[in-house]
Structure 1
């Protein structure tokens, strides 16, 4: 333990101010002398040893009656490592505009509010720490730790398994661990909100695996400019949060992972830029993600794949330019869809172009999967738009046809042309009317020969044509007359064949439609 006589002048000022919570400001009046980036050049008159700060926070100078002890220091060059690992700290720490020579170690510590703003810090280790209050690092530069006993890659801000009863403020903060983990916070419990607005920059992966964020994560305008070792910019796998806000120019040059994340309210990418890692890496991976409201209206289509397999949302908002060339949708479930057009959000129903757009959206998914079509058709039916649902199911059958054998594709084309796979039964009526007209005109221009002279009903071209087309029962015309003209006889055979084909197609198509509806 240091004695008072061993303290330097700025350290004595800090020692004397601590019991009353007074701030010690070592900054000069000249702005050029207070640039934190050049804090390593500050002289003894602005230098405070980290050991002095640690002793004060551990109760070396007790509080005055009627005052709240607090360490407040501005404009200082802090030498040595601020080692508070495992400590029980009853006082808040406020550092503003300071340059720290070495890292801050809060491993397993229990402390109060920690504020390090506008400062330069070579790493913060707070693994399994408990912070009663707020963690405020606004406008600071936090660089990677030289080493960490719990992370195998370089890390700038380590909060794994930590508990913060307040919020975390990272507005304007630059957290830098290129090729490593800018933030390692797996298992973090942050009872307040996490805000990363106002120019927040992360160089390296931001890891919040399994984090609990009931106050939400707000990253409007944040820039994740350098992906981690696996091309991941932000990892929120299995995290639980009230809100995830990646809007207003949020930029991720790497994969954003939300696998298994549960968002009780809003997940938004409005105005975001999702570049994805170089090559064929995905821009967004949200397998089995759950959210109430998903706003996917980025500033431009993501450069890589968007994976929503198994995800569930109550409300989906998107636009015609939201999606990349490849979208994984198998198992994606949503309660409603609203399209954003000219700044307005409207239900994506009641217009054929909306249906075509939705079908084209599903076609962006590799291969053939029936579930995305069934999901979309189910939503249209639930909203009372059965015609749109039938268009979607027809598109599903046409997509499925591509995966079949050549013989099955031929049957599929027949069903499509005649009854639209049962979803357009009126097509059979069109074919029947056209063939009836053809037969009536062709047979009415010629005279047939009776099978038995003087017997049978008189010849009627219309009835004779219908008798050929209807394979069940009989109208007495087909068996009573025959043709010596070879062309008309072949036309009769052709109409019989078409009658059987139309009947078979109608039965198959209607059966399929009834089974699906």
Structure 2
């Protein structure tokens, strides 16, 4: 416990102001004299010991009747480490334009609103803290440094398993932990959301694994630089949020990872820059098993690394010509609708010129072959009432699959494609039937066959005979009544029978699909 006589003049001013909640402003009043970056040079007239601040917050000078005690300190140099680990603090505290000599330790504390604004702090440990109110670090610079025995990582701001009933306000803040964790907030619960806008910059990984953010995460215009050794700029694995707003100039020079994240409303990257790792080895976006209602990937420019959406599920996808890199992982990606942004407008992708060509090219950016992206796309076209487009997608699926087969199967696939379009082009089968009918009529009409039984049966008719060979069901009485002594014509007859089975089956399948609107 401090005696009043032991306090310096600025500490006495703060001591007297605390019980009535008065503001203590130690600034010099000049821009040159109040630069927080030069706070290490401020003299005794602006220095307050961290131990004095801790004593006040822990009840060393009780509030006066009829007043609300609080600590508000502006323009001070705070010497020593402010250690409030495990403390139960009944008063809000506010630091503005202050320079902290050492880090701040609030691990496991229970407190009300905390505001550290426009200040410089060499590390803030707030793991397992319970804040009944807000945590505000607007315009502050928080640098990684040794804070407490609990801090074993190169971390600037630690909010691991913290619970904040209000919001976490980081607008304009700068978190500096190159190669480490700019913010480690695994398991954080922030009921009022997290706000990282208005020039927010993070040097190091922003880590929010399993965070609960019913108020959302807002990083419009934020810049994430110099990720850790994993190359991850932002990690939201298994996080649950109402909104993830990573838009309007949001820049990630490292991987944005959303594995298993659940977004109950919108996830937007509109106007964002996803640059991946500087060397191009790391993916730009990993969103495997992610779930969102509205997913907007209308980026400012194409991502520098891969985009991985395997197993993701979204109700509405928004994209543009700049949304996709050269490599996109789409296996298991499910969506309910697609809208495309062009010339400042958004419209249904099914109405886009060459829609199927563009979407198939999108799927072909995936490495290897997987049937699910084609089936998902065809299902979307069918739901939109574009059955012909759905069949074109499924035909493209068969052609892609053919590339994975052994040579004999590929040859057979080419034959099926050329003759019947794998059954998805029944009109092509009809054309082949007409061509073969004409060919057979001319070939058989130029020669005379031998009757099976002389003097019996109908006279030979080349057209009817050819149709009898090509139509596999029923009979017209010609095929069984005549045969050829010419070996070439006999083999031609056999070939027409085989082709007739294939082509007629394709026509029937095509008509069935049309009638069933499949």
Please indicate the TM-score interval, normalised by the length of the shorter structure: over 0.9
Residue aligned with 2:350, SS: coil
User: 2:16, 2:147 → 1: CA distance?
Assistant: 35
Equivalence for 1:54: 54
Residue aligned with 1:374, SS: helix
User: 1:490, 1:217 → 2: CA distance?
Assistant: 73
Cα offsets for 1:492-515 (capped at 9, x unmatched): 565455334434666788899999
Cα offsets for 1:161-195 (capped at 9, x unmatched): 11111101111100001111110111111111211
What is the Cα deviation at residue 391 of structure 1? 1.5
Equivalence for 1:346: 347
- Equivalent positions of 1:77-226 (< 5 A) are 77-146=77-146, 148-226=148-226
Greater shift in the superposed pair: 325-334 or 234-243: 325-334
Greater shift in the superposed pair: 283-292 or 98-107: 283-292
Unpaired segments ≥5 residues, structure 1 = none
Q: Quickly say closer, same or farther: Cα 1:341–1:68, change in 2 above 3 A.
A: same
Q: Quickly say closer, same or farther: Cα 1:413–1:151, change in 2 above 3 A.
A: farther
Equivalence for 1:405: 406
Residue aligned with 2:388, SS: helix
Q: Quickly say closer, same or farther: Cα 1:130–1:247, change in 2 above 3 A.
A: same
TM-score (normalised: structure 2) = 0.93
C-alpha contact (below 8 Å) 1:201/1:225 kept by paired residues = yes
Greater shift in the superposed pair: 116-125 or 298-307: 298-307
- Equivalent positions of 1:167-316 (< 5 A) are 167-277=167-277, 278-316=279-317
Cα offsets for 1:383-406 (capped at 9, x unmatched): 222222211111111111122222
Equivalence for 2:392: 391
Greater shift in the superposed pair: 359-368 or 168-177: 359-368
**What is the root-mean-square deviation of aligned Cα atoms in Å?**
2.6
How many residues are aligned here? 516
Equivalence for 1:66: 66
User: 1:489, 1:87 → 2: CA distance?
Assistant: 99
User: 1:356, 1:66 → 2: CA distance?
Assistant: 74
Q: Quickly say closer, same or farther: Cα 1:493–1:161, change in 2 above 3 A.
A: closer
What is the Cα deviation at residue 440 of structure 1? 3.6
Equivalence for 1:32: 32
Residue aligned with 2:149, SS: coil
Equivalence for 1:462: 463
C-alpha contact (below 8 Å) 1:107/1:127 kept by paired residues = yes
C-alpha contact (below 8 Å) 2:221/2:249 kept by paired residues = yes
What is the Cα deviation at residue 407 of structure 1? 1.9
C-alpha contact (below 8 Å) 1:419/1:509 kept by paired residues = no
User: 2:31, 2:473 → 1: CA distance?
Assistant: 99
Q: Quickly say closer, same or farther: Cα 1:513–1:259, change in 2 above 3 A.
A: farther
Equivalence for 1:5: 5
User: 1:493, 1:352 → 2: CA distance?
Assistant: 45
C-alpha contact (below 8 Å) 2:89/2:111 kept by paired residues = yes
Cα offsets for 1:196-251 (capped at 9, x unmatched): 00110001111111111110000001010111231111111111111001000111
What is the Cα deviation at residue 409 of structure 1? 1.7
Cα offsets for 1:276-307 (capped at 9, x unmatched): 12342111111211111111111112111211
Greater shift in the superposed pair: 499-508 or 359-368: 499-508
C-alpha contact (below 8 Å) 1:138/1:172 kept by paired residues = yes
Residue aligned with 1:431, SS: helix
Residue aligned with 1:33, SS: coil
User: 1:276, 1:330 → 2: CA distance?
Assistant: 21
What is the Cα deviation at residue 411 of structure 1? 2.1
Q: Quickly say closer, same or farther: Cα 1:107–1:292, change in 2 above 3 A.
A: same
Residue aligned with 1:249, SS: coil
